[in-house]
């Protein structure tokens, strides 16, 4: 079969389109014919060895595949060839105390698909059956590949790591990103009033199209003051943050008393300086969020099936043109999600 393989780390790393043996399912695994796979910042961290993991090369990236089961292992009874599936990127153990409690996002032994084992930028991928979610009728493979990771991450942030009440003000950072575009729609669906951010007019208009009632320009350093102005100086109840670096401390400038910043990422930097005085005086919270529980992905796919959550798809390319998509991702030119369709030519 054809697969993209990372053969040397770097920025850019060396990615090659190769002919490799098709995977066979282990006893507890299925092989999925990959119809679509989303690209993510995780793919860049793999590329540049930016994760605290030892990764053997070559490695096929791709943590967000969707497709049809082509073969099942000898121990698999709940799935059969022909089933349409979304594949979860965090391959959880199913046995630790957190998995047992339905908090799979805290699994003690999770592996990342497309990082610690070969992923979905290939015509076929072998995955443990625990990684599968049934794709509801009417949810396209492309929709799944655009929402499985970022959409369910936003669902986890908004419904598991905190709660949103109707009428709450929610600031969804970077509304043209995968997490941000989903966060706007989910927060709106929960009854919140949503403000988003964007550094270009194109990004801001995309956020408005998804339901943000106001969008602030983060190219202007006074953007937190604009958020306060929009909320009558009160500030927002919740910030959905996934950028890190200099952005995270500024989110607290936007936050109301008793408000919460939930963060799930740090693409702009992992170390930040935080002024603790306003944090405790205003009784605010900073909450970490990682990955998703099975229930979050199920909810995400249900919302998609009901038309309440729609993906923002930037591009769809074949394996032959995946290098173009990787370059756009490195250059931060992707609005929404870049998809690879491994069987397209």
Task: Pick the binder of Zn ion from 17, 20, 22, 93 (CB under 5 A).
Answer: 93
106 binding Zn ion? (CB under 5 A): no
Q: Which is nearer to Zn ion, 94 or 245 (CB)?
A: 94
Residues in the interface with Zn ion (CB under 5 A) total 5
Q: Assess 112 for contact with Zn ion (CB under 5 A).
A: no
When asked if residue 99 is in the footprint of Zn ion (CB under 5 A), the reply is yes
Q: What's the chain's length in residues? A: 345
As measured in angstroms, the least distance from the Cβ of 92 to Zn ion is: 5
Q: How far is CA 186 from CA 86, 119, 152, 212, 302, in A?
A: 19, 28, 10, 11, 12
CA dihedral angle for residue 264, residue 269, residue 270, residue 274, rounded to 10 degrees: -90
The answer to whether 96 contacts Zn ion (rule: CB under 5 A) is: yes
279 binds Zn ion (CB under 5 A): no
- Give 96 or 266: the residue with its C-beta nearer to Zn ion: 96
Task: CB nearer to Zn ion: give 22 or 96.
Answer: 96
Q: Check residue 107 for interaction with Zn ion (CB under 5 A).
A: yes
Residue 225 in the binding site for Zn ion (CB under 5 A): no
Q: Within positions 63 to 92, which residues make up the interface with Zn ion, using CB under 5 A?
A: 92
The nearer residue to Zn ion, 60 or 92, going by C-beta atoms, is 92
**Could you give the C-alpha distances from 74 to 24, 26, 30, 235, 305, in angstroms and in order?**
11, 8, 9, 56, 31
Instruction: Compute the least distance from the CB of residue 181 to Zn ion, in Å.
Output: 29
Applying CB under 5 A, which residues contact Zn ion? 92-93, 96, 99, 107
């Amino acid at each position: 079969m054809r697969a993209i393989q990372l053969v040397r780390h770097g920025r850019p790393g060396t990615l090659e389109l190769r002919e490799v043996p098709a995977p066979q399912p282990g006893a507890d695994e299925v092989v999925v014919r990959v119809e679509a796979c989303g690209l993510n910042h995780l793919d860049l961290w793999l590329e540049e060895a930016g994760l605290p993991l030892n990764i053997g090369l070559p490695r096929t990236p791709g943590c967000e595949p969707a497709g049809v089961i082509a073969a099942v292992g000898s121990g698999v009874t709940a799935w059969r060839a022909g089933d349409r599936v979304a594949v979860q990127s965090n391959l959880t153990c199913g046995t630790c105390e957190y998995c047992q409690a339905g908090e799979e996002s805290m699994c003690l032994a999770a592996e990342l698909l497309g990082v610690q084992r070969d992923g979905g930028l290939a015509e076929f991928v072998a995955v443990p059956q625990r990684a599968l979610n049934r794709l509801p009728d009417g949810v396209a493979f492309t929709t799944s590949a655009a929402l499985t990771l970022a959409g369910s991450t936003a669902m986890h942030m908004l419904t598991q790591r905190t709660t949103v009440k109707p009428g709450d003000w929610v600031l969804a950072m970077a509304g043209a990103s995968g997490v941000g575009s989903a966060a706007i729609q989910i927060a709106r669906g929960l009854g919140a009033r949503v403000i988003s951010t964007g550094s270009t007019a194109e990004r801001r208009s995309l956020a408005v199209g998804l339901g943000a009632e106001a969008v602030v320009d983060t190219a202007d350093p006074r953007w937190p003051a604009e958020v306060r102005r929009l909320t009558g100086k009160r500030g927002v109840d919740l910030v959905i943050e996934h950028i890190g670096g200099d952005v995270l401390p500024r989110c607290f400038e936007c936050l109301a008393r008793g408000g919460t910043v939930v963060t799930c990422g740090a693409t702009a930097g992992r170390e930040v300086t935080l002024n603790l005085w306003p944090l405790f005086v205003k009784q605010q919270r900073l909450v970490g969020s990682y990955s998703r529980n099975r229930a979050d992905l199920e909810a995400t796919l249900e919302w998609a099936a009901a038309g309440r959550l729609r993906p923002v798809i930037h591009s769809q390319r074949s394996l032959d043109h995946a290098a173009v998509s990787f370059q756009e991702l490195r250059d931060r030119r992707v609005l929404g999600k870049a998809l690879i369709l491994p069987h397209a030519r």
